[in-house]
């Protein structure tokens, strides 16, 4: 499973990239606004921090303008992945861009039928929003399961990018189902490393080690 971080905070990206476990970055207009940075400038900086895809989202709603925006964004760096919303215009744009070899992440997916359409449009990634699905009384994990089943039925190569992840259990369930990618807020990635018994174990081992009076490094 690939791990993407869902943020435009470059300090966080730098820190997580240093673990060697980061495969890409996703941003959206809300995350860009939260960063307080210039969109083009921050996107370029992020593209230099990771080798993998960096999703940058168009804001136009019509196909022609989406294409024009995508053309500006894809010139930022080779690893830019254009993010488009799951609308008719978004999918028309997706088909045109992937046909030219540009990576596309289709976002705001809330149904398996929408994911089927995105795959037919040649999407590189489909982003089902688990947390927002749960928030509205639906089962986010069921959505991931349905998309996995459908993509496997037809051998679609579109990667399932589990998004709107709120906690480590969302990551665990997505991995069990076989989502290709999980994009997570920095705090969730950090949460994956943690276990109370790991901390307790280290504490116990170190206390006993000190009793030996030995050192590995002399």
Distance CA 145, CA 167 (A): 18
**Rounded least distance, CB 6 to ligand G3P, Å:** 5
- At 12, list the tokens: 């966080």
What does the binding site for ligand G3P look like in residue numbers (CB under 6 A)?
A: 6, 26, 28, 129, 131-132, 163-164, 183
Nearer CB in complex with ligand G3P: 26/158:
26
Spatial CA neighbour of 70 closest among 41, 90, 48: 90
State the catalytic residue, choosing from 83, 95, 194, 200: 83
- Annotated catalytic, 83? yes
Nearer CB in complex with ligand G3P: 7/98:
7
Max alpha carbon distance in the chain (Å)?
A: 71
Query: Backbone dihedral region of 70: left (phi > 0), alpha (psi from -120 to 50 degrees) or beta?
Result: alpha
Nearer CB in complex with ligand G3P: 129/151:
129
**Rounded least distance, CB 7 to ligand G3P, Å:** 9
Q: Which residue is closest to ligand G3P by CB? A: 164
Distance CA 129, CA 126 (A): 10
**Rounded least distance, CB 118 to ligand G3P, Å:** 15
Tell me which DSSP letter residue 129 carries. Answer: B
Give catalytic residue positions: 83
């Amino acid at each position: 499973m690939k791990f993407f971080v869902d943020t435009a905070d470059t300090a966080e990206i730098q820190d997580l990239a240093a673990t060697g476990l980061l495969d890409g970055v996703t941003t959206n207009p809300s995350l860009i606004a939260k960063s307080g940075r210039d969109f083009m400038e921050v996107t370029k900086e992020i593209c230099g921090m990771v080798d993998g895809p960096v999703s940058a989202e168009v804001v136009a709603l019509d196909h022609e303008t989406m294409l024009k925006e995508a053309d500006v964004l894809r010139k930022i760096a080779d690893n830019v992945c254009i993010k488009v919303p799951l609308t008719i215009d978004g999918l028309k744009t997706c088909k045109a861009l992937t046909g030219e070899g540009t990576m596309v992440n289709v976002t705001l997916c809330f149904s398996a039928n929408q994911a089927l359409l995105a795959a037919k449009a040649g999407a590189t990634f489909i982003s089902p929003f688990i947390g927002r699905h749960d928030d509205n009384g639906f089962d986010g994990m069921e959505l991931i399961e349905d998309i996995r089943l459908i993509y496997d039925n037809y051998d679609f190569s579109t990667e399932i990018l589990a998004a709107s992840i709120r906690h480590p259990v969302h990551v665990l369930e997505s991995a069990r189902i076989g989502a290709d990618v999980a994009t997570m807020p920095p705090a969730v990635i950090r949460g994956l490393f943690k276990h109370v018994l790991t901390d307790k174990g280290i504490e116990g081992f170190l206390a006993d080690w000190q009793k030996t009076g030995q050192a590995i490094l002399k």
